[in-house]
Amino acid sequence: MYDPTKPYKYQIIESIKSTWKTPNVAVSGSLVSKKFSYSEYHHSDGIGSKGIYHWQKRSFKNAVIDAMAMNLNDLAMVRATPYAVVDHMMLPKDDHKAILKIIKDLSSVCRQYKIAITGGETAIHYDAEGMELSISMLGFVKKSVQNKFRRGDVLIGIASSGLHSNGFSKVRGIFGEEFRSDFIKPTSIYLIEVLKLTEKFDIGGMMHITGGAYTKLKDLLGNSLDTKVFRSHKLQPQKIFHELFNRKISDEEMYKTFNCGVGYILSVRKEQANKCLSAIKIFQPTLSVKLYLVAAKLLSNPNFPIKLWNIKYAV
């Protein structure tokens, strides 16, 4: 039964307050004062039906990373620095331990990225099958840059950690009651590395490969360019993608639904491509995300259709 007194309230408040010491905002009570004057970018996203698996396995820290990653990676595309979040947690039962654990884990990740938690809400939906954790994230942009691919750019694909947080309706439909550890593996966060790259290299367009997967690249092409991604690259997708493909998902649906091993794509001038890859390793030499140069080129023929699903999935 739902307890409206929220006996964990003061523990949550203390955890949230631990995020208020940031270089970008000052928080006093319910009031937030910004320490900057730049254009802003606001974004909201959540973990979707992946939350069913997180709730079943009580993998709350991974759920927090997923929710933060879905926002941080999209902020990276506009070169935004995050400064505040508001969370909305929906649970299928009034589980005090789960609520406190989620907020503590969220506070920990926010401290890591110097983000203040400035609001939030918890809702108990007894008819829900799993949890949902949605984040509204606020960021600022010091210098606005058009997010577009340019003729002659080379695309660099940054490997994903696996499924990330998209395509789980399809996953659940295929696997039913079966479980794989891949279903609760957290989404990779690319923000810090990407922002450092934008300071050193002439990067044109960037895309976080989420819902819609590779069809999202169309948004960065404009009317006069197209892209062709060849199969002859070194990146081998994780085993879970092979298993999905072997369960009779077509090439087209694979590339429309799943990241297929690449979580983030950016374009850079051809002469800077190899140095760009090397720089990422220098920034974080212990990075578990491996990087590969995708054999791709931007074509000047506007009549060439972007049909990435014409690439046969390598099994």
Both tokens assigned to 16: 């949230």
Residue range 9-141, CATH number: 3.30.1330.10
Domain assignments of the chain as residue spans, ordered by start = 9-141, 153-310
* pTM for this predicted structure: 0.88
Give the containing element (helix H, strand E) for 134: strand 132-141
Query: Pick from 68, 65, 22, 14: which is nearest to 43 by CA?
Result: 68
Residue 283 has pLDDT above 60, yes or no: no
d(CA 104, CA 45): 20
Superfamily of domain 153-310: PurM-like C-terminal domain (3.90.650.10)
Phi, psi of 83 (to 5 degrees): -135, -15
Domains 9-141 and 153-310 share a fold: no
In this structure, are strands 39-46 and 31-34 parallel, antiparallel, or unpaired? Answer: unpaired
Least confident piece of the model among 26-40, 67-81, 202-216, 230-244: 230-244
Q: Taking Cα atoms as reference points, which of 308, 209, 297, 294 lies closest to residue 255?
A: 308
pLDDT tens-digit profile of 75-134? 999 999 999 999 999 999 999 999 999 999 999 999 999 999 999 999 999 999 999 999
50 Cα distance to chain centroid: 13
Kindly state the DSSP code that residue 178 receives in the 8-state scheme.
-
Q: pLDDT digits over 131-186, tens only?
A: 999 999 999 999 999 999 888 888 888 888 999 999 999 999 999 999 999 999 99
| 114, two tokens | 């110097």
Q: How confident is the model at residue 314 (pLDDT cuts 50, 70, 90)?
A: very low
At 215, which amino acid appears?
T
**Nearest CA-CA partner of 198 in 136, 147, 140, 122:** 147
| Backbone CA torsion sign across 177, 51, 9, 127 | negative
- The candidate with the shortest Cα–Cα distance to 242, out of 260, 259, 215, is 260
